[in-house]
Amino acid sequence: MNLQILSLEGQFYLVRTVDESGSHLLTDRRNNPYRFHCLEEIRDHFGRHKLEEVWLEQHTPYEEMCGLSDDTGPLKIKLSW
């Protein structure tokens, strides 16, 4: 299983699990996206799982806010867990 961690404004993270069946946003019992407050919290939550790859994905609106084009896409960093 792989993880995609989405870093969002407002100091929280969302997580997508990726496996052979596709990509799935981690949700709570009410089907709302499960919010994490830090990367350590995510690591602890998935501590029992065998993770092949973990990616941190940062979306930023700053280029567009400064009048630049937003054609760079999100910043992606592979984490070594």
User: What is the predicted pLDDT for the residue at 8?
Assistant: 85
- Rounded CA-CA distance 34/17 in Å is 12
Query: Is pLDDT of 5 > 80?
Result: yes
User: What is the predicted pLDDT for the residue at 81?
Assistant: 84
| Residues 16-70: tens digit of each pLDDT | 999 999 999 999 999 999 999 999 999 999 999 999 999 999 876 665 666 656 5
Nearest to 14 by CA among 29, 26, 28, 31: 26
- Rounded CA-CA distance 48/65 in Å is 41
User: What is the predicted pLDDT for the residue at 58?
Assistant: 87
Output the pTM of the full model.
0.80
Residue 17 near residue 1 (C-beta atoms within 8 A): yes
Domain boundaries defined on the chain: 2-60
- Rounded CA-CA distance 56/40 in Å is 13
CATH topology of domain 2-60: Nucleotidyltransferase; domain 5 (3.30.420)
DSSP state of 72: S
